[in-house]
Chains A and B, each alone.
Chain A
Amino acid sequence: MKHLVRSQGFGAVIGVAVMLAVFTLVDFSGWWTVPTVSNVTQFASILAFVTMGEALVIMTKEIDLSVGSVYGLAGVSFITLEPPLGVPGSLLVALLIAALAGLGQGIAVVKGQLPSMIVTLGGLFIARGIIYVWTGGSVHNFSPDARAHPLTRVLGGELFGVEAAIFWIVAIAALLGLMLWATPFGNRLLATGGGRESAESRGVRTERVKIVTFVLCSLLAGFAGILTLCNQPQTHVTLGENMELEAISAAVIGGCLLTGGRGSILGAILGALIVVSFRYELIALGAPSSWYITFVGVVLIAAVIFNQSLARRLGHSV
């Protein structure tokens, strides 16, 4: 228990517990149904991929505003390149495009000593512009053969009646958690965000860590785009629009501090769950759907206050 309280996702655990308690009280019969839980967990899984990448970048005291556009670009690449390359080929190239986007931005931030907010804002526009020009305003269809391809089914179908995205998020979150808490790279990543000079004095090559983290972030966003399209190939050039804001909100709600060095994979997933659940339940309760963004703002500010106060109580500097 003591370990849980001290863990960096504790704020998000409390948030999810409070949220579930409130939803149970106000809408027990509507919330605790198989379709509702299935819908919320499926969409939360997609957002969680993007949020995990964002959380890693935030832990290094940077930010990535391009994740929504990279998510869209990878998804659109996957669909558009499928006819000439086949499903496995287009999957690899789409992931490569995402990785290159992360690499380019990482290098620009680190080597150019530019603010990540500006570089990735540029990345957001560039990637979205490429989508518009490449597709001519309308995304191509995904052929019936491609939809039936085993790889498409493994990424986007159902396994034992459960959406594949949920299995993927569990597997990849476990790997990332392991990387963050049980490998030297994870230690270096947190050290880079915690204090660059201090980390460098201990031999951490912070520039390299940041570049790798940007690549990881874009790869996760790209993978989420591909998972979404494997599940539902009916899409549009708006794929991933404004997703960066949801991902940053979810990462912060999940316990990431923009001051760097603090955050967790579990928190990122729970943050995404909170954001998606709020959207779902507000609509279910009959609130105008455009209120969702207002509530996300309220929850975001409340979460920042709560997480900062929790971090101070635990003796962390924020």
Chain B
Amino acid sequence: MNIKKLAMLTAVLAASVVAGTAGAQDNDKQYRFVMVSHIGSNDPNMNWLTLSLKEFEKKYPNVKTEYISTNNYSVQEHVRLLEQAIATHPDGIAVPIVSSDAFEGPLRKAIDEGIPVVAFNIPDSRPAGERIPYLTYVGGDEYLTGKKLGEYAIEQAKEGKIPQPKHVVCASHDSAHQGLKARCKGMKDAMAAVGAKFDELFIGAEPAGARNALQSFLQANPDTNYIFTVAGWSAPWAWSVANEMKLDPDVDDKGMTILTVDEGPVSIEGVRAGHLLATNSQGFWLQGYEPMEWLYWNKKFGYAPQSDILTGPVIINKDNADQWAKQVRAVFGDKAYDEQNTW
């Protein structure tokens, strides 16, 4: 081996060592991502998110995730938490866009500072050019939630398993909530395809008042044979009103058919008990894991998805409700799951 060859080999070896070291340094680089959430410890759904963050940390040991939220929710408090999080210069932020106006300032500042942002659970609903320039949105789609549940019900009706929809009422507890209105709109559009009448009824969130309102509606509209409650916890109220009125609300080929949303114990056990035709999941677990993964890929490799990432809806019906119950029990714990089954 001459001197020239030896020098070349040495250079190649040195380059390999340097490159390897650099790679090792890159692999060892520590990241810190913060999820600034509106789902506090008073909401059992928080468990989905915190557990998925733990799983994420197991897979990516060089990433530390933080979950911060407030119990007594207010947009102002949420913005304050977000600003505090930005001030600590994290490597990435995941946040639901509860209010585009309130979040725009702090998030644009964070993005300008080079902090990647992923929206989760609630997107910026403005047109693409106007919305906050986050990497992507990871979460459910409220309109599709109503539409797909409606289409599932129509399929079941065509097979003769439940009555054909004649008059559908969408019972909403918040008349100003755009997400709930989108759920009703999705159901309305699905039902329009089979010519069913559709009404949106504001029942309020107070149980006695809600029952009173729903009973009044059903009394005055006896042709109503489908109820869609846009919150899982109001499904038992709808069922009990229909049951008291002897409208046969359990799932069969006659009487009333009730659909609801969410993968909470009330909704799943309602399906399992035959009280509810179906509910949906918006993929809460993925809404914790996926934003972190995209923040990581963006930070490490510069990847950026070119569209929103939908984690739902997933229809939960009698065929898969048992499996869902197992999964939710694993997240909530058996005791909490059983306590929250209010049927």
Q: Which of A68, A246, A279 contacts B216 (CB 8 A)?
A: A279
Residues of chain B with a CB closer than 8 A to A132's CB: 42, 71-72
**A276-B212 contact, Cβ under 8 Å, with A30-B220, A236-B205:** yes
- Contacting residue for A137 out of B42, B213, B220, CB 8 A: B42
Residue of B nearest to A280 (CB): B216
The reply on B43 being an interface residue by CB < 8 A is yes
Minimum CB distance partner of B199 in chain A: A286
A43 CB to closest chain B CB (Å) equals: 4
- Counting chain B CB atoms within 10 Å of each CB, which of A33, A141, A236, A242 scores highest? A236
Count contacts on B: residues with CB < 8 A to the other chain: 41
Q: Which residue of chain B is the closest to A80 with respect to CB atoms?
A: B339
Known contacts A137-B42, A279-B213, A283-B220; A235/B201 CB under 8 A: no
B17 contacts across to A, CB distance below 8 A: none
A129 proximity list for chain B (CB < 8 A): 72
- A-B pairs under 8 A by CB, number: 117
B residues near A236, Cβ cutoff 8 Å = 205, 207, 233-234
- Does A284 contact B205, Cβ atoms closer than 8 Å? no
Interface residues of A in 255-294 (CB under 8 A from B): 276, 279-281, 283-286, 288-290, 292
Please determine whether A138 and B44 come into contact, CB atoms closer than 8 angstroms. Answer: yes
B32-60: contact bitstring with A at CB < 8 Å (1 yes, 0 no)? 00000000111110000000000000000
A233 at the interface (CB under 8 A from B): yes
Closest Cβ–Cβ distance, residue A312 to chain B (whole Å): 34
* Alpha-carbon gap, A285 to B234, bound state (A): 23
Pairwise interchain contact B236-A234, C-beta atoms closer than 8 A? yes
Determine the distance from Cα of A158 to Cα of B222 in the docked complex, in whole angstroms: 25
Residue B217 at the chain A interface, CB threshold 8 Å? yes
**A232-253, CB < 8 A from B:** 232-236, 238-243, 246
- Tell me, rounded to whole Å, the shortest Cβ–Cβ distance linking B294 to chain A: 28
Residue numbers in B under 8 Å from A281 (CB-CB): 216
Q: Enumerate chain A residues within 8 angstroms of B233, measured Cβ to Cβ.
A: 138, 236
Residue from B204, B213, B339 in contact with A141 in the complex, judged by beta carbons closer than 8 Å: B339
A242 touching B42 in the complex, CB below 8 Å, given contacts A233-B342, A284-B219, A285-B220: no
Contact of A39 (CB < 8 Å), options: B173, B201, B216: B216
Residues from 131 to 180 in A contacting B, C-beta threshold 8 Å: 132-133, 135-142
Q: Beta-carbon contacts of A286-307 to B below 8 Å, as 1s and 0s? A: 1011101000000000000000
Shortest Cβ distance from A288 into B: residue = B202
A129 to B72, CA, bound (A): 8
Q: Is the CB of A280 within 8 A of B212?
A: yes
Number of chain A residues whose Cβ lies closer than 8 Å to a Cβ of chain B: 45
Cβ–Cβ contact B44 & A239, under 8 A: no
What B residues does A226 contact at CB under 8 A? none
- B72-84: CB near A (< 8 Å → 1, else 0) gives 1000000000000
A235 — which chain B residues lie within 8 A by C-beta?
A: 207, 342
B232 to chain A, nearest CB (A): 10
Does A112 touch B at the CB level, under 8 Å? no
CB-defined interface of A14-39 with B at 8 Å, one 1/0 digit per residue?
00000000000000001001011001
CA distance A132 to B216 in the complex (A): 30
Select from chain B the residue with minimum beta-carbon distance to A72. B206
B175 touches A290 (CB 8 A): yes
Known: A141-B341, A234-B207, A238-B207. 15 other contacts (CB 8 A): A39-B215, A43-B212, A132-B72, A135-B42, A136-B43, A136-B336, A137-B43, A140-B342, A141-B340, A142-B342, A232-B211, A238-B206, A284-B220, A289-B203, A289-B213
Instruction: List residues of chain A with CB under 8 Å of any chain B CB.
Output: 30, 33, 35-36, 39, 43, 46-47, 68, 129, 132-133, 135-142, 228, 232-236, 238-243, 246, 276, 279-281, 283-286, 288-290, 292
Question: Can you report 21 residue pairs joining A to B where beta carbons are below 8 Å apart?
Answer: A35-B219, A35-B245, A36-B216, A43-B211, A46-B208, A132-B72, A135-B42, A137-B43, A138-B44, A138-B264, A139-B342, A141-B340, A142-B342, A238-B206, A239-B206, A241-B206, A246-B209, A283-B216, A286-B220, A289-B203, A290-B175
